Structure 1
C-alpha cells in the first residue's frame, strides 16, 4: 500500500521525467524543422532559379519562332512574286511565238 506522500512524490517524479523527455523531443523536433525549413528554402530557390532560366529560354524560343515566321512569310511573298514573273514571262514568250509565226506567214505571203 502506498501513502499519499509517496504517490505524490512518484507522480511528480514521473512527470519530471516526462517533461525532460518532452523538452528534448521538442528541441529535436525544432532542430529537425529548422533543417527541413532550410532544405525547403534551398529547393525553393533552386526552383525559382530554374523557373527563371526556363522563362528566359521560352522567351528566346518565342522570339526565334516569330523571326522564323517572318522569314517564312518573306519567302512566301518572294516565291509568289517569282511565280507571277514566271507566268508573265511565259505569256510574253507565247505572244512572241505567235507574233513570229504571223511574221513568218506575212513574209511567205508577201513572197520575200
Structure 2
C-alpha cells in the first residue's frame, strides 16, 4: 500500500484567524507606570559635562561684565575730555 503525503489543510478563514489571533495569556502593558521612551533613555550628563556647562555659563557672564566695564571706561574718558 502506498501512502500519500498531504500537507496540512488550512482554510482561508483559519489562515485569517491565525494572523489576527490575540493571545489572552500575555498581559498587556500597565499604562499607569509607563514612561515615554525619551524619558526612559534620557542621557544623564557626567560630572565633567556638568563642570564644562558651568564653566561656559560663568565665562559668558564674565565676558558680558568685561564688555560693560570697557563701555564704562570709554564713557569716563569722554567725560574727562570734555
TM-score, structure 2 length as denominator?
Answer: 0.45
Normalized per residue, the structure richer in helix is 1
Whichever of the two has the greater Rg, that structure is: 1
